[in-house]
């Protein structure tokens, strides 16, 4: 019965945080810690719940995802975001993740690093909002490679 209650609470946390500009993974890590929900079952549950959220995003933006893979002559010059934008955006994280995988797993998945990261991220969001930097892209389709 305790696993069912944990699953409901974790599902609610994931559902509430996935579409907000906060770390749903960070909130899941903190929630699991507070519930003492750990071990392989907890990790598997977190992966499945987040897979559900990713699939929901995919369904919601299905047509946009299809457009990512529209590779025609001159596709780099087509208006709108495409798979190249995604690759360029992911490249630094992939390189750093591969290079620092062991350190990340060892030090960054505990509750304290997550709390510090959530607070720092919140402060950065506030600073960015107040900076009033000129907006160069009104929609996702206005994003350039630069």
Q: Note whether 45 and 107 are same-domain residues.
A: no
Residue 15 contacts by C-beta under 8 Å, 6 or more apart in sequence?
Answer: 53
Last-in-domain residue among 17, 35, 60: 60
Other CB atoms within 10 Å distance of the CB of residue 110? 12
Verify that 27 and 67 share a domain, yes or no. Answer: no
Is 135 in the same domain as 67? yes
Q: Are 145 and 51 in contact (CB under 8 A)?
A: no
* In a shared domain, residues 127 and 68: yes
- Give the pLDDT of residue 135: 76
* Pair 66, 10 in one domain: no
pLDDT at 72: 52
| 129 and 69 inside one domain | yes
Task: Select from 12, 38, 60 the last residue of a domain.
Answer: 60
Domain interval for residue 94: 62-146
Intervals of the chain under pLDDT 50: none
What's the domain count of the chain? 2
Report phi then psi at 89, rounded to 5: -70, -35
Same domain, 72 and 137: yes
User: Quick one: pLDDT at residue 76?
Assistant: 56
The answer to whether the CB of 10 falls within 8 A of the CB of 32 is: yes
Same domain, 87 and 24: no
| Whole-prediction pTM | 0.74
Strands of 28-123 (E only): list them: none
């Amino acid at each position: 019965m305790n696993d069912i209650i944990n699953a409901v609470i974790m599902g609610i946390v994931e559902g509430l945080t996935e579409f907000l500009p906060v770390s749903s993974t960070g909130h899941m890590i903190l929630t699991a810690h507070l519930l003492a929900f750990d071990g392989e079952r907890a990790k598997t549950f977190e992966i499945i719940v987040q897979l559900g959220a990713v699939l929901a995003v995919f369904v919601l933006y299905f047509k946009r995802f299809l457009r990512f893979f529209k590779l025609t002559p001159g596709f780099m010059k087509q208006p709108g975001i495409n798979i190249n934008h995604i690759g360029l955006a992911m490249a630094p994280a992939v390189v750093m993740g591969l290079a620092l995988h062991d350190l990340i797993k060892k030090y960054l998945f505990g509750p304290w690093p997550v709390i510090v990261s959530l607070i720092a991220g919140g402060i950065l969001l506030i600073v960015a909002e107040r900076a009033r930097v000129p907006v160069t892209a009104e929609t996702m389709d206005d994003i350039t490679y630069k």
